[in-house]
Amino acid sequence: MALNVIMLGPPGAGKGTQAERFARARGIAKISTGDMLRAAVHDGTEIGLRAKTIMDRGELVSDEVMIGIVRERLNRNDARAGFILDGFPRTVAQAAALDELMKCRDPLIILDIVVPEEELVRRLSTRLICKECGHNAELGHIDVTERCVICGGELIQRSDDSGTVVLERLRVYRTATKPLVDFYRVRPTFRSVNGAQAPDRVAADLAAAIVEVGSH
């Protein structure tokens, strides 16, 4: 049975870090729409240039574009054996489209990482990512003189992690993305995890949630 996981949570909840750890531990594909978009921005593609303007304002890229990106990615061979989705879906419309894409596949497990907003603001204002590979540094524990532990690249602040953009991103999450929790909460494969803990504790709770879902 393929392990198909969605990682939900607000900006700064640690979805990327946890998804990366989880995918590595389980040997499944990590599918980050944010990483794919940032790669497109870095490469200067048409979609990348359009997306950059939107992301720099803290807004969401259109459902149509995101669904198309995910559809193509899920059709690759490495996603057939299981995957973990980070950054998708972000709207109920995207979730409904994903349900269509998942027909004839094993069920989705939905993990929601919950963190208080004041902690999210603190994390986002101190977060750094690698300019080359997009890897997230440990929130609040790295300074700009250090290098990426994955590829040795320069660590920078994301343009959408600064100033008022952080508050706009959280507002967008509340209005556009948080309804996903209500959409998925009724499913027997939905679990919430406290993300205001040490990363190792969060990872352990996520793993335990997977086991619990599988036992039902």
Q: Please tell me whether the overall predicted TM-score, pTM, comes out greater than 0.85 for this model.
A: no
* Angle at alpha carbon of residue 22, lines to 41 and 92, rounded to 5°: 60
156 within some domain: no
Nearby residues of 167 by Cβ (< 8 Å), 6 or more positions away: 121
158 within some domain: no
pLDDT in tens, 31-61: 988 777 777 778 887 777 877 888 788 787 7
79 within some domain: yes
Question: What CATH number did the domain enclosing 72 receive?
Answer: 3.40.50.300
The predicted structure's pLDDT at residue 138? 53
184 within some domain: yes
DSSP string, 143-207: -TTSB-TTT-PBEE--GGGSHHHHHHHHHHIIIIITHHHHHHHTSTTEEEEE-SS-HHHHHHHHH
Number of domains in the chain: 1
Domain that holds residue 87: 3-116+164-214
**Chain-centroid distance, C-alpha 2:** 20
Of 112, 85, 87, the residue nearest 195 (C-alpha): 112
**Active centre residues (catalytic):** 15, 90, 127, 158, 169
124 within some domain: no
Please say if the pLDDT value at position 129 is more than 90. no
| Residues 31 and 73: beta-carbon distance below 8 Å | yes
141 within some domain: no
Q: In angstroms, rounded to a whole number, what is the distance separating the alpha carbons of residues 155 and 7?
A: 24
The tokens describing 97, both together, are 């489209």
C-beta pairs of 207-210 under 8 Å, 24+ apart in sequence: 207/22, 207/25, 209/111, 210/3, 210/5, 210/109, 210/111
pLDDT in tens, 146-176: 788 788 888 877 665 666 778 888 888 888 8
The predicted structure's pLDDT at residue 127? 74
Q: In angstroms, rounded to a whole number, what is the distance separating the alpha carbons of residues 81 and 68?
A: 20
Which of 82 and 141 is assigned the larger pLDDT?
Answer: 82
Q: What is the mean pLDDT of residues 97-120?
A: 93
The predicted structure's pLDDT at residue 126? 76
pLDDT in tens, 173-200: 888 888 899 999 999 999 999 999 999 9
Question: How many other C-beta atoms can be found within 10 angstroms of the C-beta atom of residue 192?
Answer: 16
The predicted structure's pLDDT at residue 163? 64
Range name among 47-51, 74-78, 88-92, 113-117 with the lowest pLDDT average: 47-51
82 within some domain: yes
Q: In angstroms, rounded to a whole number, what is the distance separating the alpha carbons of residues 144 and 127?
A: 10
